[in-house]
């Protein structure tokens, strides 16, 4: 199967990757702190094994988690 090129989707299936700052501001309207997001919001994705490795959340995962507790 030489010559077959596979293209990856531009956006991951979980939507945008958000920092704790973006999660707090955009999904909680600034009503929570970034440290609260880091401690309480599940489904985080850590890029690396060091303490300084970026930690991000998929927007769709956070929205689903929020909806689960709103109802």
35: in domain? yes
7: in domain? no
Owning domain of residue 47: 17-70
9: in domain? no
Q: Which of 44, 53, 48, 52 is nearest to 22 (CA)?
A: 44
Can you give the pTM of this predicted structure? 0.76
pLDDT for 71 beyond 80: no
Q: How many separate domains does the chain show?
A: 1
Q: What is the pLDDT of residues 14-60, one digit of tens each?
A: 789 999 999 999 999 999 999 999 999 999 999 888 889 999 999 99
């Amino acid at each position: 199967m030489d010559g077959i090129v596979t293209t990856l989707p531009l956006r991951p299936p979980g939507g945008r990757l958000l920092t704790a700052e973006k999660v707090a501001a955009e999904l909680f309207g600034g009503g929570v702190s970034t440290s609260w997001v880091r401690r309480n919001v599940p489904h985080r994705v850590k890029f690396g094994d060091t303490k300084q490795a970026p930690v991000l959340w998929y927007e769709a995962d956070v929205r689903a988690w929020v909806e689960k507790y709103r109802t």
